A and B are shown apart, each in its own frame.
Chain A
Amino acid sequence: MSGLAMPKPDDATLRRRDEIVADMRIIVPGEGVVDAANAMRAFESDGLTAYRQLPLVVVLPQTVAQVSRVLKYCSDRNIRVVPRGSGTSLSGGALPLEDAVLLVMSRFNRILEIDFQNRIVIAQPGVTNLGITTAVEQEGFYYAPDPSSQIACSIGGNVAENSGGVHCLKYGLTANNVLGIEMVLMNGEVVRLGGSHLDAEGYDLLGVMTGSEGLLGVVTEVTVRILKKPETARALLIGFPTSEQAGQCVADIIGAGIIPGGMEMMDLPAIHAAEDFVQAGYPLDVEALLIVELDGPGVEVDHLIGLVEAIAHSNGSTTCRISQSEQERLSFWAGRKAAFPAVGRISPDYYCMDGTIPRKELPRVLAGMRELSEKYGLGVANVFHAGDGNLHPLILYDANVPGELDKAESFGADILRLCVKVGGVLTGEHGVGVEKRDLMPEMFNQIDLDQQMRVKCAFDPNHLLNPGKVFPQLRRCAELGRMHVHRGQVAFPDIPRF
């Protein structure tokens, strides 16, 4: 589709498929190897369903030793490997390759340790995000990052993507809530980073592993911090005649020293789609709707509700409802949480984007999007993690109309270019994957990209792990290894003195 160039399949590997499948069955006996096309169909794409490809073979290991042996086997024979958790990536991070082993970690589904005294949970990577909270919630604890796919997405995948969620302004991303991992390098070596202590020693490899999209290593164990649940949470539902006023309200809330547990914004098309779908009681006569959720002890929440209400009024809010019960709070969220399926009702297909912008640029970016919407003749609805500037435009299109998918993708790329232009970034939480891979030069020059690829070389010098993702053009590590400066050839032959 859409002319996406993936690494050319290796003919020698394709020819040896039967032998590789047989060897995989030796390493992972039992039900752990899937090679029939119809059975592999379930793995042909992730959450970015426009891209599909059957893998060479699907392998579902159950032990760290098996993961290590599979990777070493593939490394020794120059066979590519694509790791996969639950397959909920929205950027094609787990898209299979024709000549690659798809290493599926879903059988690593056990929680290994719960330690309330140190407030940590040690889990295998296939445990779902929500599964961690479920394991500790009876004691009043939870795991803070809450991506919207939390019922399905795996904690190993969360590490790979540095997943966020609606609460991350206050409680941080995956990177801020993971203390340690065990991982297997492409050469089969098992490495542990961090542990149950707060800071890891040496270089922050855990920091660079988090969000590395499965290109550096395969995570086999994760240690996360858990938090005590806040005593209470209440929300305000605030409508504004313009997005500028809503944006200013957000700035003023933060300026007052308040970091809400969640702060979400929706634009007019998103409000109407959500209200039509779930009848959340959203006002339909406003251009922008804010949901501000405050959590903590009751006295704190009540205190802050008063402050936020005053700030909303001073910014010209036309409606401001304050939840008086847990049921009402959930009803405020119902529309926001149903925004994606709601948009799915009004359009045959939608394409979800994920840029982040400096918050103050919101009006400019929304105006730019309206222009692009006219240019491409496609509608767009916006939901926005207003606290942290993460924008999710939903582009409406119909895949059955020839050319519309291409048009939606071009529209999306233009939106992301606009995000970068105003000081933002290509992706806030969905990852680069294959989807935004070719847009990387919008944000990074060749030196920037080369330095990132050099990190890859330290972990996987032959580009065997998840190739074709993140980087628009793979350059051989030997080529990257050359120094660009040589004695006598520099621009500054004399000692520079400042």
Chain B
Amino acid sequence: MTTFTPSTAAETLSTIAWAAAEDSPLEILGHGSKRGIGRPQQSEHTLDLSKLSGVTLYEPAELVLSAKAGTPLAEIESLLAENGQQLAFEPMDYGPLLGGEPGPGTIGGVLAANLSGPRRLKAGAARDHILGIAAVSGRGGAFKSGGRVVKNVTGYDLSKLMANSWGTLAVFTDVTFKVLPAAETEVTLAIRGLLDHHAVAAMALALGSSAEVSSAAHLPERVAARVAGGSLGSDAATLLRIEGFGPSVAYRIAALKDLLKNAGPLQEISGSVSYSVWRDVRDCAPFADGSERPVWRVSMAPSQGHQMVLALRMQAAVDAFYDWQGGLIWLRMQQDDPEAGLLRGLIKKYGGGHATLVRATPSHRAAIPVFEPQAPQLAALSARLKAEFDPKNILNPGRMAPGAGSATLAPATEGGAQ
């Protein structure tokens, strides 16, 4: 059991080349802040990239930033903030939900987990902002893809392929992201006291207007009190975030108020309360309770999520709240059983999507597919792709699925929703 801590791309390459030659599996780590996600691993050795650190290029006027993969996200975010810029996809911090401290996490981990946040609705996820990578495949080959410019269709986009690969395809040594100006100001309009289905209708109305709502979340009654230090009170809160230049924000908030005047009691939230509300929604703070009770991250069409939750509640006790206009559903089971089969069956029944078991005991994570099982053709394609990058299965083996794939097979009876 050895921990390798390379501080250069060349050292990273030689470690992986050695591991490939020795058939010796590696657990790939940045800060380990998301180590609890995925199937538990028993890799012989650990490749710790936290010493591979430092911003190598930042040109604010070109909207581009490059950094070594182990660079702390916090360092990058503060550098961007000094220049009035940000990673617009608002990467979430899994730390508190998984029982850790807030703050750690590397830029490589941001890409490997394809992180995003409430602004996903408008700005996309890490995959939408990655411009280029340098990486080492499980074959021990150092390759690059993409570049440092926003518009680039030269060759396959292997950078995007790395998003959500959880260290199973290649180890990044350098990443280049598009960065964007941070909004001058933000104001949140809350509609209070709505039931889930009314909230989803109100969010759809707001998103279908030209108010350019950048985030839309719904915190049901028992959840609302658990954000921003309880400052929202406990009534259900349907939250609409407006960001931009001052005069524009004021105008759009007024337009939204007019649009939603019959939806329910309206409340304007600004300044630090607005920031901390969205930070807590982003980080799933309502369920960061220090326990290991199962937490699911579910992605569905926005109009379908609350119907699935309603059906689920008839058979299992769950707490739920919604982001992305209702399309991202965070679920905490009140009992120890993750109820994976029930949940995934209902997702399929209500139009499809996928569920990731982001928090659970190691034994549940070993027994239940953490990532959504895939239809046979897609699972086979993913396994072939994995084999092309990592034929000996030495990079985070088994993290996404048993064996060498990225996904378990969906049970045959569940048909071809893929």
Q: Which of A237-272 contact B (CB under 8 A)?
A: 251-252, 254-259
One of B22, B150, B165, B391 near A389 (C-beta < 8 A): B150
Given A199-B116, A202-B407, A297-B252, the answer on whether A358 and B155 have CB atoms closer than 8 Å is no
Classify the interface of chain A: helix, strand, loop or mixed. Answer: loop
User: Which of B152, B248, B324, B371: most chain A Cβ within 10 A?
Assistant: B152
Decide: B154 and A429 in contact? CB cutoff 8 A: no
Decide: B247 and A208 in contact? CB cutoff 8 A: no
Given A116-B208, A300-B247, the answer on whether A481 and B328 have CB atoms closer than 8 Å is no
A402 within 8 A of B: no
Q: Which of B94-135 contact A (CB under 8 A)?
A: 114, 116, 120-121, 124-125, 127-128
Query: Which chain B residues border A257 with CB–CB below 8 Å?
Result: 84, 181-182, 184
B20 within 8 A of A: yes
Query: Which chain B residues border A88 with CB–CB below 8 Å?
Result: none
Query: Which chain A residues border B406 with CB–CB below 8 Å?
Result: 202-203
A85 within 8 A of B: no
Query: Which chain B residues border A440 with CB–CB below 8 Å?
Result: 154-155
CB-nearest residue of chain A relative to B57? A423
Decide: B145 and A452 in contact? CB cutoff 8 A: yes
Given A303-B248, A389-B149, A459-B381, the answer on whether A492 and B18 have CB atoms closer than 8 Å is yes
Q: Which of A41-49, A125-133, A443-451 contacts B (4 or more CB under 8 A)?
A: A443-451
Closest chain-B Cβ to A439's Cβ sits at a distance in Å of 9
One of A192, A296, A423 near B378 (C-beta < 8 A): A192
One of B143, B157, B255, B387 near A175 (C-beta < 8 A): B157
B139 within 8 A of A: yes
Q: Which of A18-26, A226-234, A366-374 contacts B (4 or more CB under 8 A)?
A: A226-234
Query: Which chain A residues border B137 with CB–CB below 8 Å?
Result: 451
Decide: B157 and A210 in contact? CB cutoff 8 A: yes
One of B15, B114, B300, B324 near A496 (C-beta < 8 A): B15
Decide: B407 and A175 in contact? CB cutoff 8 A: no
Closest chain-A Cβ to B194's Cβ sits at a distance in Å of 16
B62 within 8 A of A: yes
B284 within 8 A of A: no
Query: Which chain A residues border B245 with CB–CB below 8 Å?
Result: 300, 303-304
Given A202-B371, A484-B141, the answer on whether A390 and B151 have CB atoms closer than 8 Å is yes
Closest chain-B Cβ to A363's Cβ sits at a distance in Å of 14
Given A118-B303, A196-B301, A198-B328, the answer on whether A208 and B84 have CB atoms closer than 8 Å is no
Closest chain-A Cβ to B265's Cβ sits at a distance in Å of 24
Decide: B384 and A458 in contact? CB cutoff 8 A: yes
A285 within 8 A of B: no
User: Which of B2, B22, B155, B417: most chain A Cβ within 10 A?
Assistant: B155
- What string of 1s and 0s marks CB contacts (under 8 Å) between A447-469 and chain B? 11111101111110000000000
Given A204-B160, A389-B151, the answer on whether A197 and B299 have CB atoms closer than 8 Å is yes
Query: Which chain A residues border B139 with CB–CB below 8 Å?
Result: 483-485
- Cα A491 to Cα B11 with chains together (Å): 12
One of B20, B155, B165, B354 near A432 (C-beta < 8 A): B155
Q: Which of A143-169 contact B (CB under 8 A)?
A: 161-162, 164, 168-169
Query: Which chain B residues border A255 with CB–CB below 8 Å?
Result: 60-61
Query: Which chain B residues border A497 with CB–CB below 8 Å?
Result: 2, 4
CB-nearest residue of chain A relative to B384? A458
Decide: B2 and A425 in contact? CB cutoff 8 A: no
Query: Which chain A residues border B352 with CB–CB below 8 Å?
Result: 195-197
Decide: B209 and A191 in contact? CB cutoff 8 A: no
User: Which of A120, A140, A425: most chain B Cβ within 10 A?
Assistant: A425
Given A389-B149, A423-B147, A425-B147, the answer on whether A191 and B244 have CB atoms closer than 8 Å is no
Q: Which of B143-174 contact A (CB under 8 A)?
A: 143-145, 147-158, 160-165, 169
Decide: B302 and A117 in contact? CB cutoff 8 A: yes
Decide: A498 and B153 in contact? CB cutoff 8 A: no
Given A300-B247, A425-B149, A428-B153, the answer on whether A191 and B353 have CB atoms closer than 8 Å is no
CB-nearest residue of chain B relative to A141? B208
Closest chain-B Cβ to A136's Cβ sits at a distance in Å of 11
Query: Which chain A residues border B2 with CB–CB below 8 Å?
Result: 495, 497
Residues of A in contact (CB 8 Å), total: 108
Closest chain-A Cβ to B18's Cβ sits at a distance in Å of 5
Given A162-B153, A299-B251, the answer on whether A197 and B161 have CB atoms closer than 8 Å is no
Query: Which chain B residues border A195 with CB–CB below 8 Å?
Result: 301, 352-353
Closest chain-B Cβ to A314's Cβ sits at a distance in Å of 15
Closest chain-B Cβ to A82's Cβ sits at a distance in Å of 18
Decide: B156 and A211 in contact? CB cutoff 8 A: yes
Interface size class of B (residues with CB under 8 A): 35 or more
- Cα A257 to Cα B139 with chains together (Å): 43
- Cα A210 to Cα B59 with chains together (Å): 27
One of A428, A459, A485, A487 near B151 (C-beta < 8 A): A428
Given A205-B382, A304-B245, the answer on whether A496 and B11 have CB atoms closer than 8 Å is yes
Query: Which chain B residues border A13 with CB–CB below 8 Å?
Result: none
Decide: B151 and A205 in contact? CB cutoff 8 A: no
Closest chain-A Cβ to B83's Cβ sits at a distance in Å of 9
- Cα A488 to Cα B22 with chains together (Å): 9
A430 within 8 A of B: yes
Q: Which of A271-323 contact B (CB under 8 A)?
A: 296-300, 303-304
- Cα A457 to Cα B125 with chains together (Å): 28
A356 within 8 A of B: yes
- Cα A359 to Cα B151 with chains together (Å): 11
- Cα A288 to Cα B241 with chains together (Å): 39
Closest chain-A Cβ to B252's Cβ sits at a distance in Å of 6
One of A116, A203, A431 near B382 (C-beta < 8 A): A203
Decide: A495 and B156 in contact? CB cutoff 8 A: no
- What string of 1s and 0s marks CB contacts (under 8 Å) between B35-60 and chain A? 00000000000000001000000011
Decide: A117 and B303 in contact? CB cutoff 8 A: yes
Query: Which chain B residues border A175 with CB–CB below 8 Å?
Result: 128, 157, 160
Decide: B149 and A356 in contact? CB cutoff 8 A: yes
Decide: A197 and B156 in contact? CB cutoff 8 A: no
Query: Which chain B residues border A116 with CB–CB below 8 Å?
Result: 208
A119 within 8 A of B: yes
Decide: B158 and A356 in contact? CB cutoff 8 A: no
B389 within 8 A of A: yes
Given A119-B207, A191-B377, A204-B114, the answer on whether A199 and B388 have CB atoms closer than 8 Å is no
Decide: B169 and A300 in contact? CB cutoff 8 A: no
Decide: A251 and B61 in contact? CB cutoff 8 A: yes
B199 within 8 A of A: no
B372 within 8 A of A: yes
B193 within 8 A of A: no
CB-nearest residue of chain A relative to B137? A451
Query: Which chain A residues border B182 with CB–CB below 8 Å?
Result: 257
- Cα A497 to Cα B125 with chains together (Å): 35
Given A173-B151, A389-B150, the answer on whether A498 and B4 have CB atoms closer than 8 Å is yes
CB-nearest residue of chain B relative to A298? B251
Decide: A358 and B248 in contact? CB cutoff 8 A: no
Query: Which chain A residues border B5 with CB–CB below 8 Å?
Result: 498
25 contacts between A and B (CB under 8 A): A118-B302, A118-B303, A185-B381, A191-B378, A201-B372, A201-B407, A204-B161, A204-B164, A204-B165, A205-B381, A259-B180, A300-B251, A425-B149, A427-B152, A427-B154, A451-B141, A452-B145, A452-B155, A452-B156, A455-B385, A455-B388, A484-B139, A484-B141, A492-B14, A496-B11
Closest 3 pairs (CB-CB, A-B): A207-B160, A300-B248, A257-B181
Point out residues on B near A: beta carbons under 8 Å: 2, 4-7, 11, 14-15, 17-18, 20-23, 51, 59-64, 84, 114, 116, 120-121, 124-125, 127-128, 137, 139-145, 147-158, 160-165, 169, 180-182, 184, 204, 207-210, 212, 244-245, 247-248, 250-252, 255, 299-303, 324, 327-328, 351-354, 356, 371-372, 374-375, 377-378, 381-382, 384-389, 391-392, 400, 406-407, 417-418
